Amino acid sequence: MEPSVEIRRLLDVMPASGRMMTKIVSKPEQNKVIDAAFPLPLSQDRPIYINFDLWRRLTKPQRDLLLLQMVSWVTGVKWLQVDIYQGVVLAGLLGGVVEAVQSDVVGIAIAGGLSAIASWQIWRRNKSNDAALNADTVAIRVAQRRGYSESEAAQHLLTAIETVAKIEGRSTLDFSELIRCQNLRAIAGLSPVGIPKGPVSDF
């Protein structure tokens, strides 16, 4: 598989917002088939790393859905979306600046602590099972605009998760993958038992 050719094809699969926010990078030395670092605040570039030697062992539909899922997760991380935790981060940072100007060591420590705790909550929420399930749902939705039916897309993503584990030499799926697979089986009509859904955002 020629990485440059596959990258061009994958860019066509991605939605416009994904092409603007992410970058596909060939990384043959990594052990994972596809990977991405957790996006840092204000990061403009959100690279997705693919080992194309391993990637080629997946079918084209599996590759499409894996990429869409990763793009969905990476672009779904919102540091500047207004909610209680972002508000606490901002208040903590502003408080830290004010206290630093006033040379209040205790105030600086408290403000910094609040900011760190809120940042941890944002990170944990975006690494949660709900975030992964949300990314799966968005990936399936985008795949439907690429000619896949909902059940087909869910099946391809399901088999991709299972195949990636084998390619990477893992004998079992991790807890998050097991939850995702059960949810995908329900979407694909292969199981009557699904996972309760939370809010889903598009990209």
- Residue numbers of the chain with a pLDDT score lower than 70: 42-43, 78-128, 193-203
**How many angstroms separate the CA atoms of 143 and 146, rounded?**
5
**How many angstroms separate the CA atoms of 30 and 55, rounded?**
11
Q: Residues 93, 111: contact at Cβ < 8 Å?
A: yes
List % helix, strand, coil for the chain (3-state, nearest 5). 60, 5, 35
User: Is the alpha carbon torsion for 159, 179, 30, 202 positive or negative?
Assistant: positive
pTM for the complete prediction?
Answer: 0.75
Q: Write down the pLDDT at residue 161.
A: 98
